[in-house]
Amino acid sequence: MKNYFEFSERKTSYKQEFIGGLTTFLSMAYILVVNPLVLSESGMDKGAVFTATAITAIIGSLLIGILANYPIGIAPSIGLNSFFTYSVVLGMGIRWEVALTGVFISGILFVLLSVLKVREKIINVIPKDLKYAIAGGIGFFVAFIGLKNAKIIVGSDATFVALGDFTSGPTALALFGFIITSVMLVRGIRGGIFYGMVISSIVGMIVGIIDKPTSIIGSIPSLEPTFGVVFSELPNVFTPDLIVVIFTFLFVGFFDTAGTLIAVASQAGILKDNKIPNAGPALLADSSSSVIGSILGTSTTASFIESTAGIAAGARTGFASIVISGFFLLSLLFSPLLSVVTSEITSPALIIVGAMMVAEVRHIDWTKLDIAIPAFTTIIMMPLTFSVATGIALGFIMYPVTMIALKKHREVHPIMYILFVTFITYFIYIS
């Protein structure tokens, strides 16, 4: 097992991988609660979606761990499930069964692009400075998510964002978790992020901010309401509206996963010669998960950026993904315990992980404006648009522009020009 997962090369251990895997699971366990809530508003059965979400996460995380040796958790995307419900079903009036079939087809296209190594080729030709910008931008984005979820930062009509109410119990608990976790990490305590979550959970239950679970074991809801509906709806998919929907699922899922892989590989120290090792198997695992998830009854999957919390806690290999899968399996039986893992508990981890990831921007050559402007655009637009994919797209549009301005057009890979045209067309269409 140690040889297969390269424990020696990546300087890790079973304990380190277990704590890292558990930390990632706790950071992304909210999807088991949020995904059924969001998709149920489209008319889907909440219980069936819960089971589909858990099983998809189990299979997806196992695939990427075993095939690609990456410490990443895969589950239904929190952004794409919102797009599925609010834009496609409620906004466009498309039945959820047909929309789910659109997810299935986009997943098949993902698999084909992965097998043909198109996705891997695109990721590997991204200039190294933009790779570091993606990792740093995701760091800001992750931290912003943590600050928002903890209500440390709230919306404001006057200034768009403002400080939240620090006297509020949940916000105070998140601040406590942030401080205690920071202290442990600064003092060099490995696994400080995980221990911070545990301590915050206990304190939250003691002071009454977090409800104690009413039971430990719960029943597993049936998949029958959603399982396999995509096959009966295939003839209804090929309409102009659904083609646009399929392309959007494809576009956002592609670059969300690309950004996550780049960020994870960079943070874990396994990015080599500006290339991501085992990118092909990792992308195949991700795309296969979308196909499986749509058949079971859930929206498009993605490699979760919360995996960086597990890496910060010590995860370095695919064994951590096996641990993640194991806890998702247990969650099917012990779902009532998930009520303890609230946003106040996971937010401090996301803020701290964001701080760690932002360090990658030090590798960018900020003295060259032809590099600095596209890099800065990528970084700043991720949190401001609340989308990893949009930040990447806008940065990739600016990169050929600045290079052409300096007559360095021959240094730009042809694929980057293709992406340039594709992104501009996409933004014109959705405007």
Q: What is the pLDDT of residue 79?
A: 66
Q: What is the pLDDT of residue 319?
A: 96
pLDDT, mean of each 10-residue run, the chain (431 residues): 91 93 87 84 91 96 94 85 80 88 92 86 85 85 87 93 94 96 85 83 92 80 94 84 75 72 76 75 90 95 84 91 96 78 82 83 93 96 84 93 94 92 84 67
**Pairing outcome for strands 301-303 and 74-76:** antiparallel
Q: What is the pLDDT of residue 121?
A: 82
Q: What is the pLDDT of residue 272?
A: 72
Q: What is the pLDDT of residue 290?
A: 93
pTM higher than 0.85: no
Q: What is the pLDDT of residue 50?
A: 93
Q: What is the pLDDT of residue 190?
A: 65
User: To which residue do tokens 């597990």 refer?
Assistant: 310
Question: The dihedral of CA 57, 61, 64, 70: what is its sign?
Answer: positive
